[in-house]
Structure 1
Amino acid sequence: MARVRVLPESARFPSHHETETALNLSERMPRLVLEARRVAANLSHGLHGRRRAGTGESFWQFRPFVTGEAAQRIDWRRSGRDDRLYVREREWETAQTLWFWIDRSASMGFASDLAQAPKIERAIVLGLALADCVVEAGERAGMLGLMPPRATSRIAEIMAETMVADRGALTDDLPPQAPIPALHEAIVVSDFLSPISEITAVVEGISDRGARGHLVMIVDPVEETFPFQGQAVLHDLEDGLSLRIGDAASWGTAYRERIERHRGEIGEVARRHGWTLTIHRTDRPASEAALHVLNLVTSSRGANVGGR
């Protein structure tokens, strides 16, 4: 039977004022940043090559003029240096800012011996790795309610430092109702064990102004399979409540059905607003989820560009 553990508050709140212990996230953060860097390096091709022509102000490249195009598009200065006609292309510059939210509430401290890492550590590694990838691709990354968007090679370290300095988000399952400009994107990393009404409110609040987003659900294998039998005691990490059950195997059937129903509702909310939902189990490599999310970001942008 799988064994489980719950990380203490110090493992989720990386304050330098906490008692220095091996579980203190401030001590583990450098390792998590390095792991995120490694994941990002392996995925450096994920967003590279996504640059394309479109409406914008930054010069991208010259390309040969194609018969049938408007003559106004010809760059006569560049064409004058050769015996061919050239067009000056600008880089597509819409939706180049991504806003991250990394859930550090109590339920994220859950870990079983079936997982490669606790949920909170995997969420941080994924968030930092994705931010590093998008900044490397020439975009900006910010943190909802915590940090304005930046375009710096130290984005992973800066986001880590922001979490180290922040105490307020420790009890928040979901991001604050912070306004996001149209065409920006949000990446929300959480276990999404909140009521569906609260998740819906977050998605709608971000979507109402024309932004879109991606939900990344972090799941411990035990939370998904509930492989317990006999008597068991369940603990609510958010509210501190406990429930003793006599037949865990029978109770697990109803539990799995409810989890599946909850995920279905989240998926429907995401689809209704043009978002994506990625479910990542912590017994799988972080790079697997990161690559999947990067591909979703690319695909969703391509679809939107084509539809505009």
Structure 2
Amino acid sequence: MAKLDVLGPDRRVAGREAVDSALSLADRLPRLVLEARRVAATLQHGIHGRRRAGPGESFWQFRPFVAGESAHRVDWRRSARDDRLYVREREWEASQSVWLWIDRSASMGFASSLAHAPKVERALVLGLSLAQGFVEAGERVGHLDLTPPRASRRIAERLAEAIAGDREGLVNDLPPQAPLGPTDEAVIISDFLSPIPGIAAAIQALSSRGARGHLVMIVDPVEETFPFQGQALLEDLEDGIQLRIGDAGAWGEDYRARIARHRAELDEVARRRGWTLTIHRTDRPATEPALRVITLVTQARGTAPSLSGAGA
């Protein structure tokens, strides 16, 4: 049974401090990076190479030389072991950019007794694990307004360092409205509790030049179900606005209907731009949304991975 933390006049400051503590991540980032690497390692069991011939550095296979091909493509060492000529093919590794944006605003500091972690921690683990997974798959990864795209094997640590030093990110609940390149991909991780017009404007700006994208909505199970009865005092963590409720059970029916409408509108905003929406509850494993998103991105690149053994 979930617990409702009702804040009386003497506890409102303490409640705000709890949220601020959840958003002060510098001391916890090393642990979150390790957790992200564990998630990324799990994903690698189900993500195979692109397996398409083309420019790159990773060997794929030898194949027989075909008449009419340029002689410089012949692998003479391999051909010397047989009575025919062979060509060394390499995997397709055309590196394109994947841009992350991870919401760290005040509402992301919330965690109920049903959650495995605060929303912000889950968002960071998910974002860092995706970054590591994308780099392993041959992509370059950057964070909007923080880091340029890189293909570093230590991408999770590099992003964590940039995030730890970014104070401005604690007050922004929407990604920057900066157009991305037509071959770029965006992954926006947030609770998306902002008004729909602002979200729509940000997505439209990011996709204005043709970039594809994916929204990952992080939801605490209590935010989704509101399983409470009796009197309650609710507080908006972004603006400090408070609402006293006399009958939480009856109010919850209207609340759940509004959440459903907000989610439907968000899905429609994404769909109109050709983007996807993934909903992740913080009482579920982080591997679930990570696997879905990395599959969506690789499918969009025309390189759908095998999902066997990926712990879906």
TM-score bracket relative to the smaller structure? 0.7 to 0.9
Which runs of structure 2 are paired with 1:109-188 in the superposition (5 Å)? 109-188=109-188
What CA RMSD, in Å, does the superposition of the two structures yield over aligned residues? 2.5
Range that drifts further, 34-43 or 84-93? 84-93
- Partner residue in 2 for 1:280: 280
- Partner residue in 1 for 2:28: 28
- TM value normalised by structure 1: 0.85
Offset at residue 34 of structure 1 (A): 1.0
Give the direction of change, closer, same or farther, for the CA distance of 1:37–1:76 in structure 2 (3 Å limit): closer
Alpha-carbon distance in 2 for matches of 1:174, 1:45: 33
- TM value normalised by structure 2: 0.84
Summarize deviations over 1:43-101 as a string: whole Å, max 9, x none.
11343x241326656675455359xx994478653386554465665644456221111
Residue 89 of structure 2 corresponds to residue 78 of structure 1: no
- Partner residue in 1 for 2:20: 9
Alpha-carbon distance in 1 for matches of 2:174, 2:70: 47
How many residues were matched structurally?
A: 290
Could you say what secondary structure the match of 2:149 adopts?
strand
Offset at residue 225 of structure 1 (A): 0.3
Contact 1:231 1:244 in 2 (8 A): yes
Could you say what secondary structure the match of 1:26 adopts?
coil
Code of the aligned partner of 2:19: P
Alpha-carbon distance in 2 for matches of 1:59, 1:251: 58
Could you say what secondary structure the match of 1:111 adopts?
coil
Range that drifts further, 101-110 or 177-186? 177-186
Give the direction of change, closer, same or farther, for the CA distance of 1:255–1:84 in structure 2 (3 Å limit): farther
Alpha-carbon distance in 1 for matches of 2:207, 2:39: 29
- Indicate the percent of aligned positions where both proteins have the same amino acid: 61
Give the direction of change, closer, same or farther, for the CA distance of 1:209–1:94 in structure 2 (3 Å limit): farther
Alpha-carbon distance in 1 for matches of 2:204, 2:94: 21
Code of the aligned partner of 1:250: A
Offset at residue 10 of structure 1 (A): 3.9
Code of the aligned partner of 2:197: S
Offset at residue 3 of structure 1 (A): 2.2
Give the direction of change, closer, same or farther, for the CA distance of 1:57–1:73 in structure 2 (3 Å limit): farther
Range that drifts further, 166-175 or 94-103? 94-103
Alpha-carbon distance in 2 for matches of 1:4, 1:293: 32
Summarize deviations over 1:104-138 as a string: whole Å, max 9, x none.
00100111000111101100110111111111222
Contact 2:74 2:88 in 1 (8 A): no
Alpha-carbon distance in 1 for matches of 2:49, 2:272: 26
- Partner residue in 2 for 1:44: 44
Contact 1:204 1:273 in 2 (8 A): yes
Alpha-carbon distance in 2 for matches of 1:213, 1:299: 12
Alpha-carbon distance in 2 for matches of 1:275, 1:72: 41
Which runs of structure 2 are paired with 1:156-305 in the superposition (5 Å)? 156-302=156-302
Contact 2:119 2:282 in 1 (8 A): yes
Alpha-carbon distance in 2 for matches of 1:260, 1:121: 24
Give the direction of change, closer, same or farther, for the CA distance of 1:46–1:189 in structure 2 (3 Å limit): farther
Could you say what secondary structure the match of 1:251 adopts?
helix
- Partner residue in 1 for 2:98: 98
Give the direction of change, closer, same or farther, for the CA distance of 1:276–1:94 in structure 2 (3 Å limit): farther
Note the residue ranges of structure 1 that are not aligned, 5 or more in a row: 15-24
Could you say what secondary structure the match of 2:75 adopts?
helix
Contact 1:73 1:87 in 2 (8 A): no
Alpha-carbon distance in 2 for matches of 1:207, 1:148: 18
